[in-house]
Amino acid sequence: MDTATTLATLLDLVITPRPGALDRETTAAILDEAGKFSSRFLTDQAALRDREGCRLVDGRVKTPTGHRDAWRAYGEAGWAGLTTPEAVGGQALSITLASAVQETFDAADPAFGMLAINVRCATRLLQSHGDADLRADWLPQLSNGNWAATICISEPQAGSDVGRIRTRAEEGGDGTWRLTGEKCWISYGDHDLTERIGHFILARPRDAVEGTRGLSLFLVPNTLDNGALNGVSTIRIEEKLGLHASPTCSLAFEDAVGYLIGPEGRGLPTLFTMIESMRLGVAVQGAAVAQASAAVAEDYAHDRKQGGPPDQPPISIMAHAEVRRLLLSSRIRAESARLIALETASAVDAGSAGDEMANERAGMLLPLAKSFGADAAFANASAAIQVLGGAGYVNDWPVERMLRDCRIFSIYEGTTAIQGLDLLQRRVLGRNGPAPLERLLSHLEPEAELARLVEDLTAGLAAGSPAVREAAAVPFMEILGIVAADGLLRRAGRQAGPLAARYGTMADFHAVEAQSRCEALADRCSRGDIGPYFERIF
């Protein structure tokens, strides 16, 4: 079964129903068109764009050959406006379907898809918090791909510690603001793909309190309405391990005109509408690269002949036990990452439509999905290189690029440690007690012993010291990822129609090690603070 049909089947039969879901045939047709676009503009060009990379020429970023044509075609085909309202030129489709489309594109080239994530998440932010004038100006242009957007949080002295942001905002007296400061690590901070770029910036107004409560959110275009430059300049583009066709920039803002988004002093909570959407985007990136690298390994292993009796023709390396283990593990990671990402997207859709239980579920799943996808992508790309051997280590094959590209997934939009702390401290051990976790487990329906293990571990951590809980955050999230994969693979094994038998077998194989892996991670969670060991050594 091809990718479009597989995804359409999962969305129809396995993923929790959500508002605005299309029938399977329509979904498959849209995903088939996404596959055709990917084949025409992304798959073959990805390696060329990776090698050429981006350059800073006369103060502006120049993207690789063919990148602009691909983005123009992306906008003209309507992909940039999948989730925006029809009234502003969009198609008003679900985030879940948009995530499946994104997987199709990112399996070919996640560097191209980075800008697509920015645009989709920016439209969601403006829909929720932009005033009428900004929505009228920006949503149609974002929806047709003529304009783009970025998220600007980090500064040289303030990365994850957002409360130390120094960028200043002064009221302009005409309803606008003037922003001055430096921002870094900005994906597509500058480029030649669109006519205009809007930067969503956290900054501190004059006399605002210190820390995160003093921050406000602003939209700062790189050009003014009359086309003149707006005090935004590119300091440099980073030389990176991967995602070479996605320019990562440091920008300087000097008395740049900006527009307040949301209430003054509520910048970080307002921006979280975009941040959480981008975390879902990273989860899908991970699922996409996990799928793509697993597929390359499977095709290579099928065709590559090595070993067997010396007096007979060589056999496919698929016959060798270690290769089989690598392929099985990779396929199950890929399918688990896909199911978790799509289930998370479905919860986001339902939560946005007013379903409070779905909104609670989305809050629990988002950090988990982001980290699970990142880990699955890197593990699968590494496994694919192992299956291909020396061929995987050179750039004749795409898996070395996949490994480089996906390494950032566990870092940007909140590191794995930040996701773990958010999940354990705020979502699981927060003021609502164990009920949200219990409801999530009931919804996912993992094997009963795994659910009990999570519940018992949670009770123990609730009584533990802050140091113990902090040390347990990442392994706890890993456990919950295994448990989510178990439940969703089992659900697919029951409900996926023509795919049910295949998913049922994957669920069985996954279950062989799930309990022991979770027990080992639970032991790590309960072991306590590692501080004394660290201090003796360092």
Residues 43 and 226: their CA atoms lie apart, in Å, by 38
Residue with tokens 């479905």, as numbered in its chain? 346
| Sequence-ordered alpha helix ranges (H) in 238-320 | 267-303
* Residue 232: φ, ψ to 5°: -115, 125
Provide the 10 A C-beta neighbour count for residue 206: 8
Nearest one of 49, 50, 109, 48 to 74, comparing CA atoms: 109
Residue 413 annotated in active site: yes
Q: Is the dihedral of CA 198, 204, 208, 213 positive or negative?
A: positive
Task: Tell me which of 171, 413, 445, 455 is the catalytic residue.
Answer: 413
Residue 210 tokens read as: 């210190």
- DSSP single-letter state for residue 154: -
Residues 362 and 364: their CA atoms lie apart, in Å, by 5
Residues 472 and 526: their CA atoms lie apart, in Å, by 7
Provide the 10 A C-beta neighbour count for residue 238: 15
- Secondary structure of residue 232 in the 3-state scheme: strand
| Sequence-ordered alpha helix ranges (H) in 318-434 | 321-352, 356-388, 390-393, 399-406, 416-421
CA 500-97-198 angle, to 5 degrees, is 150
Catalytically active residues are 413
